[in-house]
């Protein structure tokens, strides 16, 4: 699997690596039943399951779902914008490795996740480093013989407050994981 952008090219091998110490910081923020949105080969779905967290990975790519299951994670081939199991009851939606870009409209994605989450739930999202310009574009997904073109955005740390606010959420935590950045979003109280 790879995502091809004018600026980025990501390979499945990159996502197949085991969860590392920095991922652990991200995973520690996944509270309660967790939906791993765009789980890829499932390294984080499997890591959460190993921690005893109830977790479901969803992905639009068959091969990604198969790999997630192979490593012991529960996964469904499902578009996040389609009907999902447990709508309105998930406590965390995980958007790891830039997945806040899924759909090419980050506000629409976060609004969709508010439907999927319990009203007291949270989004744990990895965003791009400071200084990264906002990009709304197309991406090519490849996994084995499977290939599909999807809408894709890049959202950086400077953009996420505005994007969250437009979707009715607020940034309640911002953490740096080595060279990576994670935010936690919740409905304002
Ligand atoms: C950057 S990879 C992230 C992989 C994984 N989260 C990780 O960190 O190891 C993006 C994944 O999102 C999936 N994806 C893209 N659009 C999607 C959609 N609309 N619904 C569900 N998954 C989607 C892709 O198939 C791909 O596996």
What confidence tens digit (pLDDT) does each residue in 38-77 have?
A: 999 999 999 999 999 999 999 998 889 999 999 999 999 9
Site to probe by mutation for ligand 1, drawn from 8, 40, 101 as the one with most ligand atoms within 8 Å of Cβ, is 40
User: Taking Cα atoms as reference points, which of 145, 170, 152 lies closest to residue 105?
Assistant: 152
Q: In this structure, which residue's CA is closest to atom 2 in ligand 1? A: 40
pTM of the shown model: 0.95
Distance 108 CA to ligand 1 centre (A): 16
CA distance 180 to 112: 25
| pLDDT at position 6 | 47
Helix (H, G, I), strand (E, B) or coil at 18: coil
Site to probe by mutation for ligand 1, drawn from 60, 146, 153 as the one with most ligand atoms within 8 Å of Cβ, is 60
Distance 102 CA to ligand 1 centre (A): 7
| pLDDT at position 1 | 57
What the block records as the tokens of 74 is 């529960």
Distance 142 CA to ligand 1 centre (A): 11
Mean pLDDT of 80-92: 98
Helix (H, G, I), strand (E, B) or coil at 12: helix
| pLDDT at position 163 | 97
């Amino acid at each position: 699997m790879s995502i091809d952008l004018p600026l980025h090219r990501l390979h499945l091998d990159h996502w197949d690596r085991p969860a590392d110490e920095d991922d652990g910081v991200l995973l520690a923020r996944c509270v309660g039943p967790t939906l791993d949105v765009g789980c890829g080969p499932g390294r984080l779905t499997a890591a959460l399951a190993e921690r005893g967290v109830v977790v479901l990975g969803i992905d639009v790519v068959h091969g990604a779902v198969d790999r997630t299951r192979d490593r012991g994670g529960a996964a469904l081939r499902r578009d996040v914008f389609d009907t999902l199991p447990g709508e309105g009851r998930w406590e965390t939606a995980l958007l790891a490795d830039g997945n806040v870009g899924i759909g090419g409209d980050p506000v629409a994605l976060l609004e969709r996740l508010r439907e999927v989450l319990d009203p007291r739930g949270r989004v744990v999202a990895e965003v791009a480093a400071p200084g990264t310009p906002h990009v709304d574009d197309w991406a090519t997904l490849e996994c084995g013989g499977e290939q599909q073109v999807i809408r894709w955005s890049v959202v950086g740390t400077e953009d996420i407050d505005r994007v969250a606010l437009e979707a009715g959420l607020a940034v309640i935590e911002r953490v740096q994981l080595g060279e990576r950045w994670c935010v936690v979003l919740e409905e304002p109280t």
